Structures are given as structure tokens and as C-alpha cells.
Amino acid sequence: QLQLQESGPGLVRPSETLSLTCTVSGGSIRSSSHYWAWIRQSPEKGLEWIGTIYFTGTTYYNPSLRVTISIDTSTNQFSLKLTSVTAADTALYYCARERAGAIEYWGQGTLVTVSS
């Protein structure tokens, strides 16, 4: 059974960079049929798709966000960096696996608060 687990700081200072890692277990991140995604959820904005990466390193981002997603196939992990954060970036951050037409597996989510 595929599992995804987010990890990273729960508190980030305003203007700094938010960094999260997703560890994939129970399956290979080198799958040719899937993309690996970051999604966040807040009461103000609801569910927001952040971006996605393929195992080759091909990325697609939400143009409204200052984000970089990277992948490490040797450790079965992918990562998110969101720069110059503000209080509006406070949210529950999920990593997930996408296939054509669906987001089929989700991590449990990790809460990130932006505050000084």
C-alpha cells in the first residue's frame, strides 16, 4: 500500500522560505505513470494545487505561488520550497500522487504556520 508522509518545520518566520519533504513508501517514485504533487488547504483559500513533478524532474507550478519542487529518486522523496512567505501561506500542506485524471493517494498533511 502506497504511503506518503510530509515532514518539515511547523513554524516559519515571515519573509523566510518554507521547506517540506515528502517521503514515499510502498512504491517507487520512479513510476512512469504518475506525478507527485503538493496541495495546501486553508480556511481562507480552501484547497489549492501548488504544483507537481515527474520523476525525470519535469515540473508544473501554480503561477500564483513562489514555489520550487524537486525530486530525489535515490531516497524516494520529493520536496517543496515556498519563498518569501507571509501569513497567507499558513495552511495544511499535503503531498500526493497524481495519475491521469485523479489525485489518488494523499499524505496525512502537515500544518505550517507563518508567524514571527
Partner 1 sequence: AIQMTQSPSSLSASVGDRVTITCRASQDIRNDLGWYQQKSGKAPNLLIYTTSKLQNGVPSRFSGSGSGTEFTLTITGLQPEDFATYYCLQDYNRPKTFGQGTKVEIK
Binding status of residue 62 toward partner 1 by CB under 8 A: yes
Give Cβ neighbours of residue 8 (< 8 Å, ≥ 6 apart). 18, 19, 20, 21, 110, 112
Question: Per-residue x/- mask for partner 1, residues 13 to 52, rule CB under 8 A?
Answer: ---------------------------------xxxx-xx
Binding status of residue 55 toward partner 1 by CB under 8 A: no
Which residue, 25, 6, 12, is CA-closest to 79?
6
- CB of 106: closest distance to partner 1 in angstroms? 4
Direct distance between the N- and C-terminal alpha carbons of the chain, in angstroms, rounded to an integer: 39
Binding status of residue 72 toward partner 1 by CB under 8 A: no
Q: Provide the 3-class DSSP secondary structure of residue 89.
A: helix
Binding footprint of partner 1 on the chain (CB under 8 A): 46-49, 51-52, 60-64, 94, 96, 100-104, 106-109
